[in-house]
Amino acid sequence: MEIWINPACSKCRSAISLLDAEGAEYTVRRYLEDVPSEDEIRAVLDRLNLEPWDITRTQEAEAKELGLKEWARDAGARERWISALAEHPRLIQRPIITADDGTAVVARSEEAVREALEHNKS
């Protein structure tokens, strides 16, 4: 399993602590440094069963500069959102855990981290 984190994020640190406490095997991706491509973002969205605006941090300064709150949230705008996330990775909600069974969760709560752990059991 892989976890996308920003080390400065308390929810990311909490998720890592829980994974460690459970003895989980995982790979850390510091997504601000190792920025996901548009294709990787599309793949994670498919695994999450979410749209790009669902995982966008709209309160970030960059979101306000881009005017994201005014952007359409429909199929026609989907690629524009994905491009924005790839160009401005700080806008990606975190942490995101991708499990070995092909699922993924936005792991902002202990329950979500535990769900990822359940999906990762073989």
pLDDT digits (tens, 9 = 90+) for 8-22: 999 999 999 999 999
Q: Is 12 among the catalytic positions?
A: no
What would the two tokens of residue 63 be?
């979101």
Q: Per the residue annotation, which of 2, 9, 30, 101 is the catalytic one?
A: 9
CA distance 1 to 19: 10
Burial string for 3-20 (b: 16+ CB within 10 Å, else e) reads bbbbeeeebbebbbebbe
The answer to whether the pTM exceeds 0.75 is: yes
- The model's pLDDT over 68-103, given as tens digits with 9 standing for 90+, comes to 999 999 999 999 999 999 999 999 999 999 998 999
In this predicted structure, the answer to whether residue 122 has a pLDDT above a threshold of 80 is no
